[in-house]
Chains A and B, each alone.
Chain A
């Protein structure tokens, strides 16, 4: 402490003789060094008090008491600063852990878009935060069926990610792309209902495309309806399929329906991040999506997804409010 004291006295006395920018700057630099050495604010004031006494001689009693008072109250200030620093360190540790978890999630949930001659598939899925609450999973058997699950897990962040891996392993266990959508939904519902807490659930749209017969069979568990575009009529239909969210009741039956896809027809599956415009309450977002897609229906499925994303992002002022996921299957 003695050494610091002497240095400080020198800097202060230089400043008192000449209140120049330069002398002030030396003082500021010195304080920075003290911070690095973990000198607390009350110690700094004590150093200052002693320096003033050295330079000026004994201080009037009331000035001395005022300094003592300041030293005492600054103890708490110092403690808070320390607390803050340690929180910052903890936060940094958490951030690193989150990064690792995100990497694991991305690796684990990675799905490949099937490439087939008979059907063109495109997808865009963009998370708002680090961890995506939406999830798309494709299944494919040897050329007969392609299936897709579009999922939105309620609750965000880490709990959602854990729930999502449950969906993934459920789908993995079912294994075959030729399963009926209603069966897939029933099994997943049972798995999720058993394992998550009361306020957590999953919405899921499941579609299966029969490659040889061009039949798309679908079912929904509380999910935003998909769009079906009929090229011959140049008309959109909503693929409404009422079904309860997954994870709410133990035994739920799900319906499935089917449509025949002809050349130029396509299906758009999406999550509510695409249809929900919080700031534009009056907007009919489903009509907006139909209008956008109409303009780009000559493109391939991936380009259509990309264009839809670009346009919606623009409507949302380049700031997504929710995870955004769209999958297009085009015949």
Chain B
């Protein structure tokens, strides 16, 4: 059980990719990593969650905490590539109405191509 965060600057944006499982044990690691971001430096912080295969409510807590901090510092946060499972978590908690969230787009394979 591990979580891994990679951050990279892209123009005036910050792109992050989060991988692994976010639970009670790994959430503090993620929180510390996000803590290092200088929010004011970027016009947008975009976090790609496509490789987050598990997240519990502690994980939600980390993103809520970070979202609040970004808002206070007049930054913008976007979470992208959420799996169905993660999307549901954000929907149930009502956070999808508040935060900028983008669900993972599935590549549709048509039978003819296989």
* Chain A contacts to B: CB under 8 angstroms: 152, 154-156, 197-201, 203, 221-225, 242-245, 248-249, 272, 276, 278, 281, 322
Contacts and interface: CB of A to CB of B under 8 A. Distances in A.
Given A198-B68, A200-B61, A245 B94 contact: yes
Nearest to B63: A199
Contacts, number: 59
Nearest to A271: B57
Nearest to B83: A281
Interface of B: 24, 31, 53-54, 56-58, 60-62, 64-65, 68-69, 85, 91-95, 97-98
B60 A154 contact: yes
Contact of B57 (A154, A225, A278): A154
A224 B92 CA distance: 6
Contacts of B68: 198, 248
23 contacts: A154-B57, A154-B60, A154-B61, A197-B65, A198-B65, A198-B68, A199-B62, A199-B65, A203-B57, A221-B94, A222-B92, A222-B94, A224-B92, A244-B93, A244-B94, A244-B95, A244-B97, A244-B98, A248-B95, A248-B98, A281-B53, A281-B54, A322-B56
Nearest to B72: A198
B65 to A, nearest CB: 3
A281 B61 contact: no
Given A198-B69, A244-B95, A244-B97, A154 B85 contact: no
Contacts of B69: 198
A222 B95 contact: yes
Contacts of A224: 92
Contacts of B93: 203, 222, 244-245
A154 B94 contact: no
Contacts of A222: 92-95
- Label chain B's interface by main secondary structure: helix
Nearest to B21: A278
Given A198-B65, A198-B68, A199-B31, A155 B58 contact: yes
Nearest to A252: B94
B111 to A, nearest CB: 23
Contacts of B24: 156
B88 to A, nearest CB: 10
A268 B60 CA distance: 25
Contacts of B95: 222, 244-245, 248
Contacts of A322: 56
A152 B64 CA distance: 16
Nearest to A157: B24
A5 B57 CA distance: 61
Given A152-B57, A156-B24, A201 B94 contact: no
B94 A272 contact: no
Contact of A278 (B54, B58, B61): B54
Contacts of B54: 278, 281
B92 A155 contact: no
Contacts of B64: 198-199, 201, 245, 248
